[in-house]
Amino acid sequence: MRLDSSSNVNMDTGVFLLALIACVARPAEALDNGLALKPTMGWLHWERFMCNVDCDKDPDNCISERLYMQMADVMVKEGWKDAGYEYICIDDCWPSRQRDAKGRLQAHPKRFPGGIKKLADYIHSKGLKLGIYADVGKNTCAGYPGSLGYYETDAQTFADWGVDLLKFDGCFMEWKLLGEGYVNMSKALNKTGANILYSCEWPLYEWPFRQPNYTAIRETCNHWRNYADVFDSWNSVKSILQWTASHQDIIVPAAGPGGWNDPDMLDIGNFGLSHVQEESQMALWAIMAAPLLMSNDLRDICPRSKELLQNSHIIAINQDPLGKQGYRTATEDHFEVWERPLSQNRLAIAVMNKMEIGGRREFFIRETPSWKICSPQCNVTQILPQYKEMGLQTPQSDLVVSVSPSGTALLTVTPIRDFTSFHKLHQNDLTVHHKRIIL
């Protein structure tokens, strides 16, 4: 079904945001540790490997030093590191149930016989970085020792081990103390003098009680989870997108170099998403300037998923140096349009087909709310579903994208303000357009 070009597009708050972000807002000060100037890229064990601690029965998939070492080997060998993926991150279930005699966290002795310091050295020897996991409260979500009362000890332990990133969860913490706890740990990390990227879940745990203070969160953390854990399903990915769109006026202005909204891990390469749904997750995570933390088994991943995760055009959108998060700008006829301002006045557009029945449906690209940047002309490149250079377009362009059910078309648009190429195209109509260019 074609969209009638005269139909009204329902624009949501995104259009307003576009204006607001373009004209006014610079995000508040970011945490001043020099890290996460672009969204973090790497791998995190949780979604795929969870709390599998049974190394006798399942030695290849249990939470053990072997898992991270093997993942590091593959990251280097199979092009992941070259594509930009850098952090190998441990999630819950790595420690021993007891702290040591000096009150320090210790890795589970059987599953991490070499200890975390040796693992960090190994990861560093591959040119990669190591992330670890702890919790702001009394216990981690899986019941291991939490850091409440031990922030400085734990920060120093992680620094001594050479850890590069801390994912700090929010289970078993009185919600009114969340802010204090996350701020105290941020200060404790800073005090070690080590460069440890700080990944928080403060807003996720505060939202049920009140609207979190994103100015404070941005000053404290390098990225922060806002919403529920991602599961290996399209419903889960959709619910994250829906939550993000419905809170975008609050959360999008908080993102920028040094601090990012974290919609959770990429499921791509697992079991629950079809390939077009994987494309949707990758495209929308790029639009959202999200950390790209894969949770999959890099030792065994299908070539199409791998190619998608390593797609340099999509990664370039995610890592765009302007560092502005995109947002949903229109919903119409079971399509969602998401747009992200890029450096050099470029724009990324994602058109998602929310209809989960039937075949591909076409969408006129000129219906996107920001298409005005194509006046007088723009150059359009389609990145998904296939790379295709669409060439020069105008405000009247008839360009359509054809989008599969639950799939997404992803494009970049480069405005052309150059007088010479413009001149060639519109020789007959110079005076009128000349004014427009000067404006």
- Decide if residue 379 touches ligand NAG (CB under 6 A): yes
Dihedral angle over CA of 120, 221, 176, 171, nearest 10: -30
User: Helix, strand, coil shares of the chain as percentages rounded to 5?
Assistant: 35, 20, 45
**Minimum distance from CB of 240 to ligand NAG (Å)?**
25
- Decide if residue 184 touches ligand NAG (CB under 6 A): yes
- Decide if residue 222 touches ligand NAG (CB under 6 A): no
> Which SS3 state, helix, strand or coil, does residue 205 take?
helix
Number of residues that bind ligand NAG (CB under 6 A): 17
CB-wise, 192 or 239, nearer to ligand NAG? 192
In the chain, what is the straight-line distance between the N-terminal and C-terminal CA atoms, in Å?
A: 37
Active site residue 229: yes
CB-wise, 286 or 298, nearer to ligand NAG? 286
Q: What is the 3-state secondary structure (H, E, C) of 132-196?
A: EEEECCCECCCCCECCCCCHHHHHHHHHHHCCCEEEEECCCCCHHHHHHHHHHHHHHHHHHCCCC
Residue 43 · residue 89 · CB < 8 Å: yes
- Decide if residue 213 touches ligand NAG (CB under 6 A): yes
Among 13, 70, 190, 397, binds ligand NAG (CB under 6 A): 190
**Minimum distance from CB of 91 to ligand NAG (Å)?**
23
Tokens describing residue 39: 């969204």
Q: Which region, judged by CB under 6 A, interacts with ligand NAG, from 200-208, 210-218, 239-247, 362-370?
A: 210-218
**Minimum distance from CB of 321 to ligand NAG (Å)?**
17
**Minimum distance from CB of 35 to ligand NAG (Å)?**
8
Among 3, 20, 25, 33, binds ligand NAG (CB under 6 A): 33
Find the catalytic residue in 91, 92, 169, 320: 169
- Decide if residue 424 touches ligand NAG (CB under 6 A): no
CB-wise, 76 or 392, nearer to ligand NAG? 392
Among 239, 381, 394, 402, binds ligand NAG (CB under 6 A): 381
The amino acid at residue 391 is G
- Decide if residue 208 touches ligand NAG (CB under 6 A): no
| 206 closest CA partner among 170, 172, 245, 161 | 170
> Which SS3 state, helix, strand or coil, does residue 275 take?
helix
- Decide if residue 177 touches ligand NAG (CB under 6 A): yes
- Decide if residue 215 touches ligand NAG (CB under 6 A): yes
Name the phi and psi angles at 306, rounded to 5: -60, -45
Active site residue 267: no
Burial zone of 6 (CB within 10 Å; 0-12 exposed, 13-18 middle, 19+ buried): exposed
Among 8, 389, 420, 428, binds ligand NAG (CB under 6 A): 389
Report how far residue 59's alpha carbon sits from residue 110's, in angstroms, rounded to the nearest whole number. Answer: 12
CB-wise, 310 or 381, nearer to ligand NAG? 381
Find the catalytic residue in 121, 229, 249, 333: 229
Cα angle 220-319-197, degrees, rounded to a multiple of 5: 30
- Decide if residue 250 touches ligand NAG (CB under 6 A): no
Report how far residue 365's alpha carbon sits from residue 195's, in angstroms, rounded to the nearest whole number. Answer: 43
- Decide if residue 394 touches ligand NAG (CB under 6 A): no
Residues acting as catalytic residues: 169, 229
Which residues form the interface with ligand NAG (CB under 6 A)? 32-33, 177, 180-181, 184, 190, 193, 195, 213, 215-216, 219, 379, 381, 389, 392
